[in-house]
Structures are given as structure tokens and as C-alpha cells.
């Protein structure tokens, strides 16, 4: 998945309006104090990085995609940036933050245990992940897609099993409107979240037609539900 995001790094920001909104909401949900040190994983082009820097946090940002890191260095130059696998070895840190990464892990419970072990005593995890009922419209027509969808209770139970004490959580649900079903799928494609396309042309045409019929407005625009879980957890 990293290399797929790498290929879409230059088009990510222009097609990731919801991700930006959720990253900013996550930072505001449980702000860091000025001077606190935060290690950010899967930072992408820096939506959450910039919000954390605005709070005065000292941010060590990383992403597995070299192209994302290059853009991140330009968009948030006062963070330090490295190319790093967020699901690999994590070095000891004061606090961890991550938005829109953990859902890509094949075994997120295992990754959370590793993250928990890396955080110093007194530190915390600030986590944003997509959750139910996100993309319920598309999933009803096209199947589950590249990630395993979990609801708030499933994520929270997994975070607690990894050793964290959850201090607060919230689900933000937002119906996004796109000019057409083609625009909707194109936006997902250019933000890198669709993985490898697995539809032939005929199936794709039928999907677009059905999406417009079921979730469209008289002007041809369509809706898609985005839902994001915000979690503040002590290590
Ligand atoms: C949906 S984007 C989110 C980016 C950013 N956090 C945001 O909120 O806009 C997911 C990011 O995770 C990165 N990523 C995916 N798998 C990764 C991994 N194993 N290690 C580090 N980064 C990874 C991708 O390169 C991409 O930048």
C-alpha cells in the first residue's frame, strides 16, 4: 500500500479534503502543550503535522513513502522528517500520533502493542482511523475494498488490549458531496486510497450507474459518508 500512496503523493492533498478535516479535528480533540515532543507515523504530506506544529509541539514526522516525505518537508519544514515503516521497529518516543495509517495494517492489534511498548511512561497516543459507517454506500455496492472496517467499540477494545488507557474517543460522521459518481471514484483514486483497481470496464460502468441511481441527487451529484474515529489514549 505504501508504494501506491507513493505514486499518488503529488495529487494527495488536492483530493484529500476529508482527511485534512479529520487531521485538524484530531489535533484539536486532545491538543499537545507547547514544547511537547511527538513522533508522528504515516504523516503523509503533513496535514496532522502542521496542526501539531501550530500547537507548539516538536514533531518528528515520518512516512513509508519517500515521495510523501519530500512533500512533507516542504509543507511542514519545522518538523524533522524521515522515511520510516510505521509497522516496523518503532524507536522509544515521548508521544505517538497517527492519522489514517493504522487501518492499513494487516494486524493492527499487534502494531498497537508495539506502539505501546515504544512510548515513554506518561506519554500518550493520539490516533485517527476511518471507522463504521464510513463508505457504507460504496461498500454496499462494491464490497469491503482494501481495508477491514471496524466500528468504534472494536477499535477501542483493541486499543485497550494493547495496554492503553483510553481517555477519550469520538466518531465524526460527515456526508461528503461529489459532483458525480465518477468524480467520487476519481478523488479516491488520486488520494491513493483505492489500492489496485480490481474492476473491469463493464463492472466499473455498472458501479458508477448504480451509485448515481442509489445515492445521487437530481443534479447528478452523489453523497458518500465519511466516518473517522478520534482516540486519545495514555500509554
Ligand atoms: C491516508 S494517508 C494519511 C496521511 C496523513 N496522515 C493525513 O492525515 O493526511 C496514509 C499514509 O500512510 C502512509 N503509509 C502506509 N503504510 C505505511 C507504513 N507501513 N509505514 C509508514 N507509512 C505508511 C502512506 O504513505 C500515506 O502517506
What are the residue boundaries of the structural domains of the chain, listed by start? Answer: 2-177+226-234
Q: How many Å is the Cα radius of gyration of the chain?
A: 18
* Rounded distance from Cα 223 to ligand 1 centre (Å): 25
Neighbours of 197 (CB within 10 A): 9
Is any atom of ligand 1 closer than 6 Å to the C-beta of 18? no
Does pLDDT of 32 surpass 70? Answer: yes
H or E, element range at 172: strand 165-178
Does pLDDT of 228 surpass 70? Answer: yes
Quote the pLDDT of residue 197.
62
Quote the pLDDT of residue 199.
77
Quote the pLDDT of residue 145.
79
Quote the pLDDT of residue 148.
92
Is any atom of ligand 1 closer than 6 Å to the C-beta of 47? yes
- Residues 64, 9: Cα–Cα separation, whole Å: 12
Average pLDDT over residues 87-102: 95
* Rounded distance from Cα 100 to ligand 1 centre (Å): 6
Average pLDDT over residues 103-132: 97
For atom 13 of ligand 1, the residue with the nearest CA is 42
Is the peptide bond between 133 and the residue preceding it cis, with omega within 30 degrees of 0? yes
Average pLDDT over residues 180-209: 88
Average pLDDT over residues 158-180: 98
Q: What is the mean pLDDT of the chain?
A: 95
- pLDDT band with cut points at 50, 70 and 90 for residue 196: low
* Rounded distance from Cα 218 to ligand 1 centre (Å): 36
* Rounded distance from Cα 42 to ligand 1 centre (Å): 4
CA separation (Å) from 115 to 4, 26, 84, 110, 160? Answer: 24, 18, 14, 9, 12
Quote the pLDDT of residue 27.
98
Task: Provide the CATH topology of domain 2-177+226-234.
Answer: Rossmann fold (3.40.50)
Does pLDDT of 195 surpass 70? Answer: no
Does pLDDT of 117 surpass 90? Answer: yes
Average pLDDT over residues 78-90: 95
Residue 161, phi then psi, degrees to nearest 5 = -60, -30
Is any atom of ligand 1 closer than 6 Å to the C-beta of 42? yes
For atom 27 of ligand 1, the residue with the nearest CA is 44
Q: For a ligand 1 pocket test, name from 28, 53, 64, 187 the mutation site with the most ligand atoms within 8 angstroms of its C-beta.
A: 64
What sign results for the dihedral spanned by CA atoms 170, 175, 177, 180?
A: positive
Quote the pLDDT of residue 133.
97
* Rounded distance from Cα 64 to ligand 1 centre (Å): 7
pTM here is: 0.96
- pLDDT band with cut points at 50, 70 and 90 for residue 146: confident
Average pLDDT over residues 102-124: 97
Amino acid at each position: 500500500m505504501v508504494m501506491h500512496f507513493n505514486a499518488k503523493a503529488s495529487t494527495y492533498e488536492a483530493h484529500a479534503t476529508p482527511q485534512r478535516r479529520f487531521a485538524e479535528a484530531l489535533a484539536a480533540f486532545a491538543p499537545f502543550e507547547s514544547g511537547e515532543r511527538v513522533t508522528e507515523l504515516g504523516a503523509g504530506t503533513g496535514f496532522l503535522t502542521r496542526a501539531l506544529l501550530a500547537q507548539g509541539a516538536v514533531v518528528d514526522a515520518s512516512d513509508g513513502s519517500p515521495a510523501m516525505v519530500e512533500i512533507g518537508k516542504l509543507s511542514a519544514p519545522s518538523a524533522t522528517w524521515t522515511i520510516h515503516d510505521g509497522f516496523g521497529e518503532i524507536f522509544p518516543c515521548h508521544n505517538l500520533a497517527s492519522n489514517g495509517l493504522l487501518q492499513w495494517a494487516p494486524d493492527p492489534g499487534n502494531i498497537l502493542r508495539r506502539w505501546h511498548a515504544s512510548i515513554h511512561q506518561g506519554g500518550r497516543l493520539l490516533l485517527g482511523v476511518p471507522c463504521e459507517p464510513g463508505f457504507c454506500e460504496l461498500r454496499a455496492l462494491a464490497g469491503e475494498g482494501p481495508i477491514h472496517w471496524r466500528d468504534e467499540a472494536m477499535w477501542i477494545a483493541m486499543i485497550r488490549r494493547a495496554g492503553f488507557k483510553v481517555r477519550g474517543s469520538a466518531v465524526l460522521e460527515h456526508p461528503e458531496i461529489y459532483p458525480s459518481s465518477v468524480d467520487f471514484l476519481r478523488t479516491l483514486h488520486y488520494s491513493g486510497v483505492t489500492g489496485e483497481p480490481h474492476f473491469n470496464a463493464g463492472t466499473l460502468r455498472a458501479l458508477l450507474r448504480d451509485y448515481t441511481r442509489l445515492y445521487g441527487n437530481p443534479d447528478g451529484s452523489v453523497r458518500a459518508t465519511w466516518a473517522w474515529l478520534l482516540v486519545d489514549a495514555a500509554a
